[in-house]
């Protein structure tokens, strides 16, 4: 691959720790003061949460969320009666659309291990803001893995890496998501992205070098869409990082927390809908999740049977 086909870096920083939800700790990169938005992405949190902390009953509108569990377990439940458990390596693609109220709570693990993972908020195209909510759970065993070299492994969550294709139709807004794992310092990698996608890298473990710059753990690196690929090498033996891209949406973003619209009038309408439990929020009026007070590992495993 010619070097002029590689994307240049537009910005980078190390995500700092902050409190979120009820007693949870997150490292927020997108959605922070350093990078407010990176279309179509609205937020990226690297979360660590232990019971009784969590993200109890709360609404969403006009966006999709992608939750990737790296350790521990997460229980989920919403006002439609849908519920489930995410184990390490599992993902959930949730389309909030018109309206959803749900709860995300860490499972009380017998070992005391916290729930750790990534959560990505993705904007929806204006024409889909009021679509019906839906879920797609992607279990670890459903995610193809490619090993292009002896020291490199890639989990192809969404998209195509080294000729291996992922499961399709996970989200309405096109998103490509790859988890890279290296076992030797200096291991090279190359990942293609379409020119109409924004793309970024988040370093979960170790360090990664792009050109002559080395990015340590918890770094987020944002790229210009001036090339077809991102390439670099692992700067430590056991580096782990996510490469994520999404189709750029040519629309305004007006956001207040988990409510996302394209203008102020529509956003005020969503607030009204939620306040009066109408236009999709009818089931929110008297709903309370059954997991808000916590869920044990034994209960979680029974749900998975």
- 3 state SS of 5: helix
Residue 143 lies in a domain: no
pLDDT at residue 279 in the model: 96
Residue 214 lies in a domain: no
Among 158, 107, 97, which residue's Cα sits nearest to residue 280?
A: 97
Residue 54 lies in a domain: yes
Among 104, 15, 29, which residue's Cα sits nearest to residue 65?
A: 104
Residue 49 lies in a domain: yes
**Residue 299 belongs to a domain with what CATH number?**
2.60.120.10
- Residue 75 CA from chain centroid, whole number: 16
- pTM (predicted TM-score): 0.95
pLDDT (tens digit, 0 to 9) for every residue of the chain, 305 residues total? 344 599 999 999 999 888 876 777 899 999 999 999 999 999 999 999 998 888 899 999 999 999 999 999 999 999 988 899 999 999 999 999 999 999 999 999 999 999 999 999 999 999 999 999 999 999 999 999 999 999 999 999 999 999 999 998 899 999 999 999 999 999 999 999 999 999 999 999 999 999 999 999 999 999 999 999 999 999 999 999 999 999 999 999 999 999 999 999 999 999 999 999 999 999 999 999 999 889 999 999 998 88
How far is residue 2 from each of residues 5, 7, 56, 213, measured CA to CA in Å?
A: 6, 11, 49, 19
pLDDT at residue 28 in the model: 96
pLDDT at residue 19 in the model: 82
Host domain of residue 123 = 17-131+285-305
* Count of C-beta atoms within a 10 Å radius of residue 31: 19
Structural element, H or E, at residue 36:
none
Residue 208 lies in a domain: no
Q: How many domains does the chain have?
A: 1
pLDDT at residue 292 in the model: 85
Residue 60 labelled as part of a binding site: yes
Q: Two tokens at 25?
A: 């700790």
Residue 180 lies in a domain: no
| Residue 212 burial by Cβ neighbours in a 10 Å radius (0-12, 13-18, 19+) | exposed
Residue 274 lies in a domain: no
Residue 58 labelled as part of a binding site: yes
Q: Alpha-carbon distance 209 to 187, whole Å? A: 10
pLDDT at residue 276 in the model: 97
Residue 302 lies in a domain: yes
């Amino acid at each position: 691959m010619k070097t002029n086909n590689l994307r240049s870096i537009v910005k980078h920083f190390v995500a700092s720790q902050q409190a979120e939800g009820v007693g949870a700790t997150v490292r927020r990169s997108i959605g922070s003061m350093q990078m407010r938005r990176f279309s179509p992405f609205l937020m990226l949190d690297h979360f660590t949460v232990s019971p009784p902390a969590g993200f109890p009953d709360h609404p969403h509108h006009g966006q999709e969320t992608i939750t990737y569990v790296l350790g521990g377990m997460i229980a989920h439940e919403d006002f439609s009666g849908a519920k489930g458990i995410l184990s390490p390596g599992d993902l959930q693609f949730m389309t909030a659309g018109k309206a959803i109220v749900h709860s995300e709570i860490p499972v009380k693990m017998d070992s005391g291990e916290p729930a750790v993972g990534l959560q990505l908020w993705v904007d929806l195209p204006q024409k889909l803001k009021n679509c019906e909510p839906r879920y797609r759970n992607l279990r670890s065993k459903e995610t193809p893995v490619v090993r292009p070299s002896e020291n490199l492994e890639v989990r192809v969550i969404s998209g195509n890496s080294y000729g291996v294709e992922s499961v399709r139709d996970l989200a309405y807004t096109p998103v490509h998501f790859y988890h890279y794992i290296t076992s030797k310092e200096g291991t090279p990698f190359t990942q293609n992205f379409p020119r109409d996608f924004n793309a970024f890298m988040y370093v979960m473990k170790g360090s990664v070098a792009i050109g002559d710059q080395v990015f340590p753990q918890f770094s987020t690196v944002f790229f210009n869409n001036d090339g077809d690929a991102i390439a670099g090498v692992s700067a430590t033996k056991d580096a782990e990082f996510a490469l994520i891209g999404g189709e750029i949406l040519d629309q305004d973003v007006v956001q207040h927390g988990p409510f996302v619209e394209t203008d102020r009038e529509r956003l005020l309408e969503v607030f009204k809908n939620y306040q009066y439990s109408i236009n999709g929020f009818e089931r929110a009026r008297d709903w309370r999740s059954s997991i808000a007070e916590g869920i044990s590992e034994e209960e979680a495993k029974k749900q998975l049977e």
